[in-house]
Amino acid sequence: MFSNKDEFKKAFLKRLETLCGKRFEESTPRDQYNTLGNMVREYISKNWIQTNEQNRARKQKQVYYLSIEFLLGRLLGSNLLNLGIRDVVEEGLRDLGICLEDIEECEADAGLGNGGLGRLAACFLDSLASLDLPGHGCGIRYKHGLFDQKIVDGYQVELPEQWLRHGNVWEIRKEELAVEVNFWGKVEISQQNGRLTFRHVDSEKVMAVPYDMPIIGYHTKTVNTLRLWSAEPAKTFPVHKDVMQYKRETEAISEFLYPDDTHEEGKILRLKQQYFLVAASIGSIVRAHRRQHGHLYELHKYVAIHVNDTHPALAIPELMRILLDEEGMSWEDAWHITTNTISYTNHTTLSEALEKWPIHIFQPLLPRIYMIVEEINERFCRDLWNYYPGDWKRIEEMAIIAHGLVKMAHLAIVGSHSVNGVAKLHTEILKKREMRLFYEFEPQKFNNKTNGVTHRRWLLKANPELSALITDTIGGRWIKEPQALIELKPYASDSVFQQALAKVKQQRKAKLAKLIYEKTGIVVNESSIFDVQVKRLHAYKRQLLNVLHIMYLYNRLKEDAIFSIYPRTFIFGAKASPGYYYAKRIIKLIHSIAEKVNKDKQTNEQLKVIFLENYRVSLAEEIFPAADVSEQISTASKEASGTGNMKFMMNGAITLGTLDGANVEILEAVGEENMFLFGLTADEVLSYYENGGYRSHEYYHHDKRIKQVVDQLINGFFPDAHDHFEPIYDSLLAQNDEYFVLRDFAAYVEAQEKVEQVYQERERWLKMSAINIAHSGYFASDRTVQEYANEIWDIHPVK
Ligand code: 26V
């Protein structure tokens, strides 16, 4: 039905009538979207079934990627593209007077993630399927994804997100595969044949019902599965509880995604979510394995389970529980299988994000799991004692349970065979600092896997204009083999290529300018430099540094009659966690400076500040292709990797950044002459933290530019904000500027001046842009996933 456009049209019209019960003429874009979605799902069903059957028949090792977040975005466009039917569909629809892009707009983003970690999981799924690797995602089917952001008078307001309001054409509910999950209750211990047995009794049962979504590889028959679990009341209701209360509490488990991506609050619902994900996923993995092999003694030879950050680390005691209590294995056998099955990725070194659960929350909710964690801890501490006799301090610091807390990172390291960071610098910091003691004890576990992003979504789909130019220039091999993008390098200095590149960028800037106008009513100069910072709002990401620089430019333009700048449009997109008040004030600050700058006739020809509301995957796909400058300005050592940096680079933007996260590797790839670097290095930052010596006051007093902008936070310069920016002012001075904003200010201004100068040397800029694209293949998630497959999971393509 997709082999030519006429066949497609016929099938589409027929399907629309049967599905929607109306004639095409009466149909809405949503009807059309649903029709197309259903057709695509049907189209892939044969390959989906075949992939599953093949996996079963061949008994090949498979990986299950457990993640509390999957930030998928929209699926129609990427599915059509991966299936190779986008053009046929687009042409067919055009004949019917329908614009495919309009239909795509009907799809809600699946926003089941906060940011980097969740989007990485989605990129990995795309790469797994595209590389024909047997790998599946396991997550939670949150009824509400990350909140929708509205801006009212410059302040962020959160609204509940409603992605399932109109249904989800991509999912299939599989009630018959539900798994029972047990909370609360107590453990009964008895002796049987000289062996202790454990029974979890009086528990509260929750049904985990799977919803499967197909993950379609690019131009291949592989269709993997993302299994999202939904929490529903069990058939038998608990006797001692009000029925309605039980129902409410059960459904609450998969109701909301937690909107924080750093502050661990120790909320019981969050722990319930984590165990729910783990128990359901492991339950179904083990059931499938038992059906095939009859026992679990060789589980690690056929199954790899990856825990994405510590959120699913309960997979370790849960697998132990099944092997011990259900299979009756010895501790040693169970531990061997568990540690050889599980691997773990760390995504942050920020101490406030490291998960620690109070025992008084953990133990009553998961009594048997807690016992197992205690046993793991005791055996681990005994091993440590043998290795480091008498070294109490070290053992105390490494213990899994200490001072009333269960430390999830320690559990994850001890219970897995591989621990990896997400960029070289990050992994080195883990080994030398954050996880030093563990590295000293078991160095062989530690390894690096530098992040990547799927170039199919972030280049091929998001930027068809640039993709066409690349294919015209070097052929289409880069789509299957992104590292072939390097073949663009010889064209970087070619003036014909440069002109074409400039044209493509201009097209996308015009498109974004149109979107900005529609969303904000603000007209931006399409030939200005589009300078973009889009990411979650966090103090360490230093959106504040960007804003202070804008304030400085504004001040100069107002005060210095002969000062002028090349026109610049500063574009922001960022959600702040609802309870992160400092971050919310930065959002207000961006709006206050935008208000001033955009309304001031004296400056607004040269300077514009735009905040795009509700930053999310689908909006990001419009932003990256239009960017000239990629702001990656975190305090060095704080950003584990960053992945936005890679998406910008792929789309020909040039990085203005610190030596942090994967920026370091972008530098290695493109060279200093193709980036704008500034600021403290990670070593310098860490040495300040260790030895002191930084006094932000000195920078405030000695640099007039700094004093002026910092004072403006509180001196009435922003009349509408009243005293709202006082906490920002205090963070910079009274609290000695934890993130070195003032320390890096002068270097940042200088780097920005360089950006402006180089941008005007058109050929030089375009060459830099082309070189960035050429080297971006390394940052495709295909490379990353291949490394995980070879070095951690030991899985191989199914052909
Ligand atoms: C932590 C928490 C804790 C409280 C409740 C909700 C929640 C949700 C997520 C997280 C984990 C945050 C860690 C994270 O997202 N790290 C980012 O991972 C990216 C992918 O590896 C990486 O590029 C970013 O640099 C890193 O910040």
pLDDT in tens, 585-628: 999 999 999 999 999 999 999 999 999 999 999 999 999 999 99
254 CA to centre of ligand 1 in angstroms: 19
Cβ of 508: how many Cβ atoms within 10 Å?
23
Are 166 and 108 in contact, with CB atoms under 8 Å apart? Answer: yes
> What is the pLDDT averaged over residues 60-75?
98
- Nearest residue by C-alpha to atom 9 in ligand 1: 261
Give long-range contacts, CB 8 A cutoff, 24+ apart: 698-706.
Answer: 699/742, 699/743, 699/745, 700/732, 700/733, 700/742, 703/742, 703/745, 703/746, 705/552, 705/555, 705/745, 705/746, 705/749, 706/548, 706/742, 706/745, 706/746
Q: Whole-angstrom Cα distance, residue 789 to residue 777?
A: 18
Once rounded to an integer, what is the mean pLDDT over residues 23-41? 97
Provide the mean pLDDT of the chain: 97
| Gap between the Cα atoms of 454 and 347, Å rounded | 18
Q: Is the pLDDT of residue 497 over 90?
A: yes
**DSSP helix/strand/coil, 728:** helix
What pLDDT score was predicted for residue 388?
98
The first and second tokens of residue 519, run together, are: 């969303």
Q: What distance in angstroms lies between residue 386's CA and the mean position of ligand 1's atoms?
A: 35
Nearest CA to ligand 1 atom 4: 264
Band (pLDDT 50/70/90 cuts) for residue 166 is: very high
Domain ranges of the chain: 59-74+109-417, 458-690+744-785
Q: Distance from the CA of 262 to the center of ligand 1, in angstroms?
A: 7
Q: What is the DSSP annotation of 673-708?
A: GGSEE-S--HHHHHHHHHH----HHHHHHH-HHHHH
Q: How far apart are CA 16 and CA 75, in angstroms?
A: 20
Give the class (CATH, top level) of 458-690+744-785: alpha beta
Which protein residue's CA is at the shortest distance from atom 5 of ligand 1? 260
Query: According to the model, what pLDDT value does residue 553 have?
Result: 98
pLDDT band at 265 (very low <50, low <70, confident <90, very high): confident
Residue 2 has pLDDT above 90, yes or no: no
Report how far ligand 1's centroid is from the alpha carbon of 747 (Å).
28
As given in the structure block, the two tokens for residue 123 are 């990129």
Atom of ligand 1 nearest to the CA of 259: 6
> What pLDDT shows up at residue 261?
73
Q: Given a cut of 90, is residue 238 above it in pLDDT?
A: no
User: Distance, CA 205 to ligand 1 centroid (Å)?
Assistant: 30
3-state secondary structure of 612: coil
What whole-number distance in Å separates Cα of residue 665 and Cα of residue 671?
A: 10
Is it the case that residue 307 has pLDDT exceeding 90? yes
**H or E element: which one contains 647?**
helix 644-650
Ligand 1 atom 12, closest CA: 261
Which candidate, 667, 614, 648, 310, places its Cα nearest to that of 453? 648
Q: Are strands 110-112 and 155-159 parallel, antiparallel or unpaired?
A: unpaired
Predicted local distance difference test score (pLDDT) of residue 799: 77
262 pLDDT more than 90: no
Q: Which residues have CB under 6 Å of ligand 1? A: 114-117, 120, 258, 260-261, 263-264, 309, 347-348, 353, 422, 451, 639-643, 661
Task: Report which of 745, 734, 638 is spatially closest to residue 682, judged by C-alpha positions.
Answer: 638
Q: Does residue 1 have a pLDDT over 90? A: no
Given the candidates 3.40.50.2000, 3.40.50.1370, 3.10.105.10, 3.30.930.10, the CATH classification of the domain at 59-74+109-417 is 3.40.50.2000
Quick check: helix, strand or coil at residue 571? strand
Distance CA 153, CA 313 (A): 42
Specify the DSSP class assigned to residue 144. B
The protein residue whose alpha carbon is closest to atom 24 in ligand 1 is 642
For residues 137 and 337, what is the distance between their CA atoms, to the nearest angstrom?
A: 21
pLDDT tens-digit series, residues 619-672:
999 999 999 999 999 999 999 999 999 999 999 999 999 999 999 999 999 999
State pLDDT tens for residues 341-400. Answer: 999 999 999 988 889 999 999 999 999 999 999 999 999 999 999 999 999 999 999 999
Containing 369, the helix (H) or strand (E) segment is helix 367-387
Q: How far is the C-alpha of 418 from the C-alpha of 794, rounded, in Å?
A: 12
Q: Which residue's CA is the nearest one to ligand 1's atom 23? A: 642
Dist. CA 292 → ligand 1 center (Å): 36
At residue 260, the pLDDT reads 85
Q: Which residues are catalytic?
A: 347, 535-536, 541, 643, 647
Token pair of 94 as six digits: 């055009």
Q: Are 27 and 20 in contact (CB under 8 A)?
A: yes
The pLDDT value given to residue 239: 84
Atom nearest to 426 CA in ligand 1: 25
pLDDT at 194: 87
Pocket residue to mutate for ligand 1, from 71, 117, 635, most atoms within 8 A of Cβ: 117
Are domains 59-74+109-417 and 458-690+744-785 of this chain identical in fold? Answer: yes
Measured in Å, residue 131 CA sits from the centre of ligand 1 at: 26
- Name which residue sits closest to atom 19 of ligand 1, judged by CA: 116
- In this structure, the strands spanning 303-308 and 62-66 are parallel
**Which of ligand 1's atoms lies nearest the C-alpha of 264?**
4
Q: What's the half-sphere exposure (Cβ side, CA atoms, 13 Å) at 168?
A: 24
Judge whether residue 111 has pLDDT over 90: yes
DSSP state at residue 614: S
Mutation choice for ligand 1 from 258, 309, 347, 408, CB with most ligand atoms inside 8 A = 347
pLDDT at 263 over 80: no
**676 versus 236: which is more confidently predicted?**
676
Percentage of the chain lying above the pLDDT 70 cut? 100
Sole residue written with tokens 């129902």: 247
Q: What is the largest CA-CA distance in the chain?
A: 92
In a 3-state reduction of DSSP, which class is residue 196? strand
Q: Return the structure tokens found at 595.
A: 């208000």
> What is the position in ligand 1's atom list of the atom closest to the CA of 639?
25
Q: Torsion angle, CA of 515/520/524/530, rounded to 10 degrees?
A: -70
3-state DSSP percent of the chain in helix, strand and coil, to 5:
55, 15, 30
